[in-house]
Structure 1
Amino acid sequence: MPPSSKLPPGPPGRFFSGNLHQFLPRRLDFFLDVAREYGDLATIRFGPRRIFLASHPDLIEQVLVTDAKHYIKHFGAQLYRPVLGNGLVLSEGDFWLRQRKLSQPAFLKSRVLTYAPLMGDLADRMLANWRPGEKVDVHYEFSSLTSAIALKTLFDLDDPGDREEFTNTLRESFDLMSYRIGNLLKFPLWIPTPHNLRLKRKVAHLYRVVDGFIAHGRARKEPGNDLLSRLIAARDEDGKPMTDRQLRDEAMTLYLAGHETTALTLSWSWHLLARHPKVEEKLVDEWKTVLNGRTPTVEDLTRLPYTDAVVTEAMRVYPPVYLIGRQATKDLELGGYRVPKGLTVFMAQWVSHRDPRYFPDPEEFRPERWLDGLASRLPRYAYYPFGGGPRVCIGNTFALMEAVIILAAVGQRFRFTLESHAPPEFEPQITLLPKDGIPAVLKRR
């Protein structure tokens, strides 16, 4: 049977703006409401642009795996190109495949595991500066730590001042990009508006810094153990290396992917643990039994199943990447409906991870649900915090190892008391940020 030319059901919208007035003030709840009211495939409209929201695992798998070669990154992701360039997140086709093959060896599990001691060491350095009774922003603390780890593993960068400058400039760039994305009227970047000029200055500064890292890496007589050195040394089938521009784009992309998402996983994990003391007690018991106060090593990872379950459940409840999208490059079919060329399909982890068909009591933080083999019983795309298909996150092993090591290193010495018991407020940008940080007080374990 040919696909229906009708649109899937969806919420009514305004004549000009469509559903933007419903989406902008409460985008997470909007996606959830649409999926629950209109089903596994729904239609929404942002201005003149129609979008499908796919929520069933089979539909998501069709987009990310079966028909992956006929989809490209969607219009929203492309708006981050001024910062991320043509790195793995945004590149397409043969160029993306070449870059993925060149980058993949740097992320082999055997190589990633060599970074575990560094992660533990930098976590210990952070903890040495903490004092009981001190007020902290949980997200700021873990963002600073994962930034230090990312800059050390990626660029072999040690200087705290350089780290802070780089991180702050990148965050300011993304804030400017997010402001631009939220505006209905977007002037092309070549038009010298004050906002565009500020963004271009920030991005130019970032590029100069990363270009300096690349020049330093190329000048080394012996390559280091950092990821940039491995990318510089990589060669394709024709023996050709990456250009400086390609290296810069990949470095920017890997820094963002290796820093922000893990920081959010840790931040939301501690926010949830502070609100669920019984879960935290079980976690502490596991650390006492396995680690007895030690900073975890690679050999400990398989002996910390409850710690792993806490991280997995935190990424289910508050997925750092809450939405992905793909744009059709030809007419396709999805769920019995025609997907015309150029249409974007959204898939929201925020929605999928709250589907009661697969996660009973989905709003509850319950790490135990993962301890009896749930992952092996779920449809493949009921839970997908790192995306999926050919474009699954290249650094997922790195991120999971980092989260488990840091969670255990921190939690054996400190706990957090939240300053507010109110539900968290979110600031969904390219990732799921806490709107005003996560204010807390440090308590000695």
Structure 2
Amino acid sequence: MTTVKARVPGPSGHPLIGSMLDLTRRPLRTYLAARRDYGDVVRFTAGPPGLRAEFFVVFSPEGAHQVLGSEAANFRKESAFYDELRTSVGNGLLTSQDDDYQRQRRLIQPLFTRRRVDGYVDAIALEARMLAERWKAVPDGVVDAADEMSRFALRTVSRILFGADVEAAVDVVHRSFPALGEYLLDRGFSPVRTPRNWPTPANRRGAEAQRDLYGICDRIIAERALRPDGAGGKSDDLLALLTLARGEDGERLDPDELRDQVLIFLLAGHETTATSLAFALHLLAGHPEQRHRAQEEADAVLTGREPTAADLEALPYITRVLKEAMRLYPAASVIGRRAVAESVIGGHVIPAGAQVILAPLVTHRHPDHWEQPERFDPDRFLPEREKERHRYAWYPFGGGPRACIGQHFSMLESVLALGVLLRDFDFEVIDRRVALGQGITLRVDSPMRIRLAPR
């Protein structure tokens, strides 16, 4: 029988602001230290007296299963951060709840079946080929993996969403999303938020970035509705399919809902994949034995031709490389929820109304579930070894009823693109250590340079 403990342990922090500085400046390092020092459920306080917030961070796979799976109905996407995210990028699949979420999921799920997603492989192959050709022309062979993969993933998801309109969207999104993300993070985690309509410099920057993003999406959606090759059904890009999507009773997405879904797909569909690819390249650049093994597989499968959807199954080692990169550096490195009713996690009482944080980056390095957790070892993901682990020892795509709808798309894009780059280039690491930060997703806060050599 599990003993229930009323008080959750945790750092006391500074007398005036609690753990606010540590969580602001080095959140991931703070969470790693908290698990080591206090266990699998840790209580934090942050903020000045009178505005101090309390929240609970859960590090165990069993706790993650409770929050995302077995007790998912009790843990909702409700917080100041989610309020800001909804205001900034709309009420799409990532942010919606209850009837809105169920309706959207019913309409959109058919567009993310394995068969449908496999149809996007031509766009992935085209962007991978264009990237490889551009890299061959880099004078000194030095590129920043994080910047390059961000641009590649954005172009790929934009091509899949917008088809021929990809060029119209990429520059605006590449410029505006980081500015909007910084703005909503500052607001979402600030103890005091000024009204958005106050003419502060931050509010003006946030409003401009949002206006630019909404403007380009609304323009493409409106133009597509007037074109016979778009909403008329002749185009098979994702925007056309979203426009045509119908429920059993004929329900459809209106223009605002279309824009909300497009913005969510642009955000979630490029930042997460970019993070996984960047760290996979960086890790391989610094580990010659694993890189050579991955290159042998890429050569055997992809030499002399473009990748196809069937190649995903033919590249098991490269798939394991991606999974190991996502273990060490999951794009969704923290996940937030609010407890509706009191719950017990790991023997600790979580009160009703409490903010609960999951930290996949910490769980993925939990020494009770991963031997030598800091070591890069793709063979951790051999099928027989995966079966031995708790389902939530590795959960870069979340889990439960709100698991990421784009999981197969992300793996297809990442594995095939990495295969093409391994086939065409050798890599050498320059910036062996990189600084991590926490944005909407895991962020690289220092150069991540690698040196390329065409093979």
TM-score, normalisation: structure 1: 0.95
After TM superposition, give the deviation of residue 372 of structure 1 in Å: 4.5
Residue aligned with 2:338, SS: strand
Which of 85, 88, 97 matches 2:93? 88
| Inter-partner Cα distance in structure 1 for 2:106 and 2:42 | 35
Equivalent residue for 2:130?
A: 125
Which of 44, 54, 71 matches 1:50? 54
- Higher mean alpha-carbon deviation, 72-81 vs 258-267, is at 72-81
One-letter amino acid matched to 1:77: Y
Change (3 A) 1:101 1:3: farther
Say whether the 8 Å CA contact 2:285–2:450 is kept in structure 1.
no
**Would you say 1:217 and 2:224 are equivalent positions?**
yes
| Inter-partner Cα distance in structure 2 for 1:337 and 1:21 | 26
Say whether the 8 Å CA contact 2:343–2:352 is kept in structure 1.
yes
- Higher mean alpha-carbon deviation, 158-167 vs 386-395, is at 158-167
- Higher mean alpha-carbon deviation, 331-340 vs 195-204, is at 331-340
| Inter-partner Cα distance in structure 1 for 2:93 and 2:406 | 11
| Inter-partner Cα distance in structure 1 for 2:2 and 2:421 | 56
Say whether the 8 Å CA contact 2:311–2:416 is kept in structure 1.
no
Q: How does 1:390-405 map to 2 (within 5 A)?
A: 390-405=401-416
Give unmatched runs, 5+ long, in structure 2. none
Equivalent residue for 1:19?
A: 19
Which of 170, 174, 179 matches 1:172? 179
Deviations 1:98-117 (A, max 9, x none): 11111111101100001112
| Inter-partner Cα distance in structure 1 for 2:12 and 2:382 | 42
Identity value in percent: 34
Equivalent residue for 2:438?
A: 428
Say whether the 8 Å CA contact 2:28–2:437 is kept in structure 1.
no
Q: How does 1:15-414 map to 2 (within 5 A)?
A: 15-47=15-47, 48-75=52-79, 76-130=81-135, 131=137, 133-160=140-167, 162-181=169-188, 183-221=190-228, 222-223=232-233, 224-414=235-425
After TM superposition, give the deviation of residue 220 of structure 1 in Å: 3.5
Residue aligned with 1:186, SS: coil
Change (3 A) 1:337 1:357: closer
Give the paired residue count.
444
Equivalent residue for 2:449?
A: 439
| Inter-partner Cα distance in structure 2 for 1:238 and 1:162 | 33
After TM superposition, give the deviation of residue 74 of structure 1 in Å: 4.2
After TM superposition, give the deviation of residue 142 of structure 1 in Å: 1.5
Residue aligned with 1:50, SS: strand
Say whether the 8 Å CA contact 1:294–1:409 is kept in structure 2.
no
Give unmatched runs, 5+ long, in structure 1. none
Deviations 1:118-147 (A, max 9, x none): 211111112112226332222221111111
After TM superposition, give the deviation of residue 212 of structure 1 in Å: 1.3
After TM superposition, give the deviation of residue 5 of structure 1 in Å: 7.3
Say whether the 8 Å CA contact 2:26–2:437 is kept in structure 1.
no
Say whether the 8 Å CA contact 1:321–1:431 is kept in structure 2.
yes
- Higher mean alpha-carbon deviation, 326-335 vs 389-398, is at 326-335
Residue aligned with 2:310, SS: helix
TM-score, normalisation: structure 2: 0.93
After TM superposition, give the deviation of residue 196 of structure 1 in Å: 0.5
Change (3 A) 1:293 1:434: farther
| Inter-partner Cα distance in structure 1 for 2:349 and 2:250 | 43
One-letter amino acid matched to 2:242: L
After TM superposition, give the deviation of residue 439 of structure 1 in Å: 2.0
After TM superposition, give the deviation of residue 430 of structure 1 in Å: 1.2
Say whether the 8 Å CA contact 1:62–1:68 is kept in structure 2.
yes
